[in-house]
Structure 1
């Protein structure tokens, strides 16, 4: 299982493209392109994007930088399941990206829809192929259609050599486990379910080890809760205000990290890679400074004793 992954080395740290798709706020083209360049200069060679991110803006910006780089030196993934169709009603994108709604998302897990999605993505990226295609958010839309239609279509595309590896990008560990059992997946991109704060996805990760399916861990900072050395009162968790119990838990973790001279975000970024299923931690960024900071955190030394101290906080 997961044999295609043997030829793909994603590196420890990947670049997530939602931010450069103007997630929550618009960033200028120059800043977005400089951010991607900073990732390249930091040695990052795995880049993830999706049509969903800014109605194609993330793909366009990522491609503007990467198409000038040697194609065999980087790995790029995009996602399928949402097609972008023309939208004449105007206005702003209703799904959290600060972009004009010149197109609208249409769910489509059919083989024809998935093939068209990849063709459209390649046009926006300006590349001749993507390495990895993930079925995006089947847990949000229609998991059973994703499993019965989307995953067989992706397996077919991999067999044809259209993509080198396939997977699913989900927030639900339970839904991801269903997909892992249903298809020969190379990768699962799992958001926020295996972090320093919480690990509800351990059964999924154990099964991924057995099936030789790699896990790309995203959301390692739990929506920003673990992104700063000190946890502020207004910290977010799962995209909402963090409840008091979660704030208290995060602060215990921060204190345990401080005892070993490590800041909380550094521990949060490195923690997922301690599990043998996790092959990469991918993090978004909206400025070159954020990229540089994330790369430094991934490379910072962390004493082994810290992890035992973190484990002890779970029993408090």
Structure 2
């Protein structure tokens, strides 16, 4: 098993944004975002080949080059190989990233595919190892193949010292629940299912605590709905327009937060870390100002009475 301590700094830097998630980000702004993260004390950085068809990994590697390797952690992911070819014509439409659509994502959970994926990621990052390697979204392709082929291969790579900890990253509670029961996971990356807005993964988080599996919570703003003090017109949930019922729920949560002098995003950042199994959260950013804003939110002490009042109002599970 792993000896990696995941709670590095106020939060982890989520690298999807600097892979041009939903919009173009300049090289200068991407570098400034990573530099700002370092300046506020962040020492954990997450990325993936999927993020901008390798752009996030390349930018992150360049920004971390020259920094003391023993002072920071990097996680990346396997499962999607990047191969030459044309996709659907527009990666922004098909993959969600504003990058040239000259590479195709190819699912390959085989031992050779996993090893190739990690080797190519190390090349883009300019590293000889990563601290955490996740199997990325196996439920989207084949959960069974991912758990029986890719995950054991990652465990082998852990034994070889190429990765220090292994796990699975997904927004599927069922997929992560199956993964932790294999006994091969050191950590899971849980996207959007254990947030201030909703907690369908509460049982999974408790099970991880029982098994000694760490949890890194991501998507704590539910892709936008919780990112402002009040839900904004056109606010998104899971990268689509938020349903009215969830906007109303977020608005009701914001009412309670305001009574305690806390904003909705401040409470959203604080909530997951209350669970013993959640060792860290990752917050994405596309600019230095967004990083500094996240750091300010992470520094806020949320009164315990807020959680009590949310539970009493039926806005937070017991």
Interval of TM-score (by shorter of Structure 1 and Structure 2)? over 0.9
Work out the CA distance in 2 between the residues paired with 1:293 and 1:89: 35
Mark the runs of 5 or more structure 2 residues left unpaired by the alignment. Answer: none
Change (3 A) 1:5 1:266: farther
**Runs (5+) with no aligned partner, structure 1:** none
> 1:9 deviation in Å?
4.0
Tell me if structure 1 keeps the 8 A contact 2:10–2:299: no
- Identify the residue that residue 254 of structure 1 maps to in structure 2: 254
Alpha-carbon spacing, 1:214–1:11, altered in 2? closer, same or farther (3 Å): farther
Measure how far apart 1:307 and its partner are. Answer: 1.2
SS at match of 2:223: coil
**Measured at CA, do residues 26 and 143 of structure 1 come closer, stay the same or move farther in structure 2, by a change above 3 Å?**
same
Counterpart of 1:58 in structure 2 is 56
How many Å separate the matches in 2 of 1:8 and 1:205? 16
- Number of the residue aligned with 2:23: 25
- How far did residue 174 of structure 1 move? 1.2
CA distance in 2, matches of 1:315, 1:253: 7
Distance 1:90 1:248 in 2: 36
User: Within 5 Å, which residues of 2 pair with 1:28-177?
Assistant: 28-87=26-85, 91-93=89-91, 94-177=94-177
Give a deviation string over 1:187-239, Cα, whole Å, max 9, x none.
10000000001000011111101110000000000110000001123211121
Q: SS where residue 286 of structure 2 aligns?
A: coil
Per the alignment, in what secondary structure is the counterpart of residue 183 of structure 1?
Answer: coil
Map Cα deviations across residues 218-262 of structure 1 (whole Å, 9 max, x no partner): 000011000000112321112111112111110010010000111
Deviation by residue 1:18-37 (Cα, 9 ceiling, x = unmatched): 01000110011101110111
**TM-score, normalized by length of structure 2?**
0.95
Q: How far apart in 2 are the matches of 1:9 and 1:256?
A: 29
Q: Give the root-mean-square deviation of aligned CA atoms.
A: 1.5
CA contact (8 A) 1:18 1:284 kept: yes
Aligned equivalent of 1:284: 284
1:139–1:171 Cα contact (<8 Å) kept: no
SS in 2 for 1:245: helix
Deviation at 1:183, TM superposition (A): 3.0
Range 42-51 or range 119-128, more displaced: 119-128
Measured after TM superposition, the shift of residue 275 of structure 1 is 0.5
Contact preservation (8 Å) 1:12, 1:279: no
How many residue pairs are counted as aligned between the two chains?
A: 314
Contact 2:122 2:129 in 1 (8 A): yes
Partners of 2:88 and 2:239 lie apart in 1 by 27
